[in-house]
Structure 1
């Protein structure tokens, strides 16, 4: 039985809208197509004056479209300030993510990578790991960190943690769905050779797939699995 077969109830925690599609979009589509329960938590939401009300509403609508495309059953918005999680008391962030994990009770938790250059990603990783502590039988059975183009690849080798994937999930049949979901975030899509471009996202999926003999894949670091 593959690791995908063992995933029945999944929660993807994203610091910002579109992180979940960039990192886990194909896997979410594969799981949803197989009848698994897939939920997404978006930790932050933009707010004036850094983000206009119109832009915030647009991104929320884009997320709804993207999530429908990959089969997300429920989206949770935690509404912490985007690009300002360092100003939020750690206890508040830990409590919110902890309550969500307890409510969803996932067997599988996908989290951003601790070495991502964006501080919001690092703080969300830490809070998610607090929530996932194996203190009782209700903790997630497995925790995996995903990679986010324009964040994970900008770590400082030898100084910050390195993303060294040890789990690859084939998404050849879901790659076009993932790209369509990313395209739904029209406000975030950039022209190649920008990293947040369809071409770069396709190239990464093909590279990750080629390393394990698949046409396309998403790569993860397995943080913990409890049997």
Structure 2
């Protein structure tokens, strides 16, 4: 599919080059990069590296203790990747403690990521934007900066999730990055299906923790229908 005449929106953005998406939690890959991944799975290929186990979203649940919730969230992630055209072979699950990435040494994690990505033979890396306020997103962005120091020969791109939703001046603040906006085109239904695979984050699984995390309905619509946004990390 010719998604745009802008030459920046060809190549990796059109599924013509293999790519890796670094996802802080199971669901960020679908929210921020669902269309990108769908094009890649239909073309050159893609791989998702999920850093955390997602087990901290419902701390008040007794029916879903962290270990059980982590298994559920991994299963949801595999289903989401499948709906985007990939398979469980396209996932590396690091399973680090949810909401605890700030405790990790960026240099150590960067070394682990380098070994994984180098083994895949991929040189196009997508990571959450440092502008995202969530501490796991910021930590993943810090890991990416440490990875850039090790492998400056690779290409790095940022994708926003929470900053796109909760930053009222988002467009102005990212303008300096010269972002590209990529329409979903015919992929909106596939991306929505991938987001909906994360049922535990949509209030459809955990019933005994009313204060647990749930993706806001308007949040889902923003990402299921809107353009995807990326910018090159210099």
Q: Do they fold alike, i.e. is TM over 0.5?
A: yes
For the superposition of Structure 1 and Structure 2, which TM-score range results when normalised by the shorter chain? 0.7 to 0.9
- Residue 188 of structure 1 deviates from its aligned partner by 0.6
The equivalent residue for 2:32 is 23
Q: How far does residue 91 in structure 1 lie from its aligned partner after superposition?
A: 2.9
SS for the counterpart of 1:56 is helix
Q: Give the alignment's TM-score, normalised by structure 2.
A: 0.75
- Where do residues 150-169 of structure 1 align in structure 2 (5 Å cutoff)? 150-155=162-167, 162-164=173-175, 166-169=179-182
Task: Determine the C-alpha separation between the residues in 1 that align with 2:78 and 2:223.
Answer: 24
**Contact 1:190 1:197 (8 Å CA) reproduced:** no
Matches within 5 A, 1:174-193: 174-189=187-202
CA distance in 2, matches of 1:65, 1:47: 17
Query: Which structure is higher in helix share?
Result: 2
TM-score, normalising length: structure 1: 0.77
Task: Report the equivalent of 2:221.
Answer: 202
Aligned structure 1 segments of 4 or more residues deviating by more than 6 angstroms: none
Structure 1 counterpart of 2:122, from 98, 106, 109: 106
Gaps of 5+ in 1: 209-216
Query: Given that residues 22 and 126 in structure 2 are in contact (C-alpha distance below 8 angstroms), is that contact kept between their aligned partners in structure 1?
Result: yes
Considering only aligned residues, what root-mean-square deviation do their CA atoms show, in Å? 3.0
Unaligned runs of 5+ in 2: 60-64, 205-212
- 1:197 & 1:24 partners in 2: Cα distance? 18
Q: Work out the CA distance in 1 between the residues paired with 2:143 and 2:107.
A: 9
1:128-167 matched pairs, under 5 angstroms: 128-133=144-149, 139-140=153-154, 142-148=155-161, 150-155=162-167, 162-164=173-175, 166-167=179-180
Count of equivalent residues: 206
1:76 aligned counterpart, secondary structure: strand
More strand by share: 1
